[in-house]
Amino acid sequence: MKTYNKLSRLNHWSVAIFFMVMLIAGLTLEYGGLSKADNFTLLKFHKAMGVLLFLWGLWRVGYRLVQGFAEPVSIVERWQQIASKAIHNLLLLAVVMMPVSGLVMALFSGYPTDVFGLVTIPSIEKIDSISMFARSVHKWVAYAFITALFLHIGAALKHHFINRDQTLTRMIFGKIQK
């Protein structure tokens, strides 16, 4: 049976961790009630990290599209196969849409984006309608992403603790034991 190789596992877990950190950072920006100065510092980090994750995410999604997905570890009902495919595709779409919408928001905000002092991406122009549209995309895709993520993590835990199959261990260790 096909498994997830080292590179696949590295890109799954690295993108998973960084994107979850970004979701928490984004939600803290919106609802964390931080002081103006702290909000500014966190926003600077969020934008810089988001730009780097755009490149990392493109590599991760591209690699998966070229390599294909591994088939389910155990026999699962057809609706579960369809649901898991749909959620995996939604997660991959969000990995691209989140940084793209964030970048579009920044490019038309009138403010430059400093990427940890490595490069500065200037704003093209301040156009509020585009920036506000990208902001709503950023927000609604984030909510869809969070919902899909709860289902995804729930399914992984169910496979591990209830079905007791190797879905989770295959994504961690790669090996399938007969």
Place of tokens 């991406």: 121
Contact 74, 167 (CB under 8 A): yes
What is the Cα–Cα distance from 95 to 148, expressed in whole angstroms? 12
Q: Are 145 and 94 in contact (CB under 8 A)?
A: yes
Which member of 58, 135, 137, 158 binds ligand HEM (CB under 6 A)? Answer: 135
One of 39, 96, 127, 152 touching ligand HEM (CB under 6 A): 152
Total residues in contact with ligand HEM, by rule CB under 6 A? 46
Shortest Cβ 28–ligand HEM spacing (Å): 8
Residues contacting 48, CB < 8 A, separation 6+: 113, 114, 115, 116
* Count of residues making up the chain: 178
Taking the CA atoms of residue 129, residue 124, residue 51 and residue 103 in that order, the dihedral angle to the nearest 10 degrees is 10
The yes or no reply on residue 158 touching ligand HEM (CB under 6 A) is: no
Helices marked H in 4-124 — which ranges?
A: 6-31, 36-67, 78-107
Binding to ligand HEM by residue 141, rule CB under 6 A? no
Q: Does 85 bind ligand HEM (CB under 6 A)?
A: no
29 lies in the site for ligand HEM, by CB under 6 A: yes
Residue 97 contacts ligand HEM per CB under 6 A: no
Based on the shown chain and the rule CB under 6 A, indicate whether residue 47 belongs to the binding site for ligand HEM: yes
Which residues of this chain interact with ligand HEM, rule CB under 6 A?
8, 12, 15-16, 19-20, 22-23, 26-27, 29-30, 43, 46-47, 50-51, 53, 64, 69-70, 72, 84, 88, 91-92, 95, 98-99, 102-103, 105-106, 113, 135, 138-139, 142, 149, 152-153, 156, 167-168, 170-171
